[in-house]
């Protein structure tokens, strides 16, 4: 089958893309608004942009042409925190994907704990095994006024890593047990691991 995205509407484009680009890590992004309300929302169009300096990107779509709370908060505070979702947090993460009013904090609604960050205004999530404090570097815009996608790029200025997910000073995927997003309403666990050593050139 050959598919041209130009012939698909926004919903069908999205469903096709999330089924092809998979599995995707989940950025559970915590932010603070101008009103002081803490926001917590998951995004799976997310990844790293480099190691030194360490940069992350998060793609934030619009909601019926309106900016999402996360984007407005990032524009206000100039920062955000990316929290990793492990298996124990899957259900609560999913609950925070609902469209809550801006006046409602997902932390309170879902029963999670915000902690002060060290170097940014946005809070981090106490229950997450890894939290990355990010300073906003820039926001890029893609698409048109109706289907606009904003990409927030941030530099990690401090990471908080729970000791029990480390082995010899590095994150151990078998201990972290992160989950990832698939197409439709499916997720996957990272427990089925295999290892391949990178080859060296002869």
Q: Do the domain assignments include residue 200?
A: no
Q: Give a yes or no: residue 196 inside a domain.
A: no
Quick: pLDDT tens for 4-46: 988 898 889 889 998 998 999 999 999 999 999 999 999 999 9
| Per-residue pLDDT, 143 | 79
Cα separation, 153 vs 151, in Å, equals 6
Q: What's the average model confidence in pLDDT over 123-149?
A: 92
Domain membership flag for residue 201: no
The whole-angstrom separation of Cα 61 and Cα 143 is 10
> Would the pLDDT of 136 be above 70?
yes
Does 95 map to a domain?
yes
Residue 30 lies in a domain: yes
Residue (of 111, 106, 88) closest to 96 by Cα position: 106
pLDDT band at 66 (very low <50, low <70, confident <90, very high): confident
**What pLDDT is attached to residue 45?**
95
Identify the band that residue 145 occupies on the pLDDT scale cut at 50, 70 and 90: low
The verdict on residue 102 lying in a domain is yes
197 within a domain of the structure (yes/no): no
Give percent of the chain above pLDDT 70: 99
The domain that holds 144 is classified in CATH as 2.30.110.10
pLDDT band at 111 (very low <50, low <70, confident <90, very high): very high
Q: Quick one: average pLDDT of 128-147? A: 91
For position 125, what pLDDT does the model report? 98
pLDDT averaged over every residue in the chain = 94
**How many helices (DSSP H) and strands (DSSP E) are in the chain?**
5, 14
Q: Is the peptide bond before 53 cis (omega within 30 degrees of 0)?
A: yes
Q: Domain of 167?
A: 5-189
pLDDT at 164: 97
For the chain, the domain total comes to 1
Structural domain includes residue 156: yes
Partnered with residue 42 across adjacent β-strands are 28
For the stretch 149-167, pLDDT in tens is 899 999 999 999 999 999 9
- Residue-wise pLDDT tens digits, 186-201: 999 998 899 999 998 7
pTM: 0.94
């Amino acid at each position: 089958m050959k598919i041209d995205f130009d012939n698909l509407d926004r919903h069908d484009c999205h469903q096709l893309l999330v089924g092809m680009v998979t599995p995707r890590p989940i950025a559970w992004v915590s932010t603070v608004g101008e009103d002081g309300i803490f926001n917590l929302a998951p995004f799976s169009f997310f990844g790293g942009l480099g190691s030194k300096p360490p940069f992350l990107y998060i793609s934030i779509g619009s909601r019926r042409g309106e900016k999402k709370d996360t984007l407005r908060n990032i524009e206000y505070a100039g920062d955000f925190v990316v929290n990793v979702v492990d298996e124990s947090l899957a259900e609560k993460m999913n609950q925070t994907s609902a469209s809550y009013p801006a006046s409602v904090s997902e932390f309170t609604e879902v029963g999670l704990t915000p902690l002060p960050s060290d170097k940014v205004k946005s809070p981090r999530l106490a229950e997450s095994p890894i939290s990355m404090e990010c300073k906003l570097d820039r926001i890029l815009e893609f698409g048109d006024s109706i289907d606009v996608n904003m990409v927030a790029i941030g530099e990690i200025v401090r990471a908080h890593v729970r000791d029990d997910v480390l082995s010899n000073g590095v994150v151990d995927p078998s201990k972290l047990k992160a989950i990832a997003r698939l197409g439709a309403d499916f997720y996957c666990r990272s427990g089925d691991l295999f290892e391949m050593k990178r080859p060296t050139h002869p």
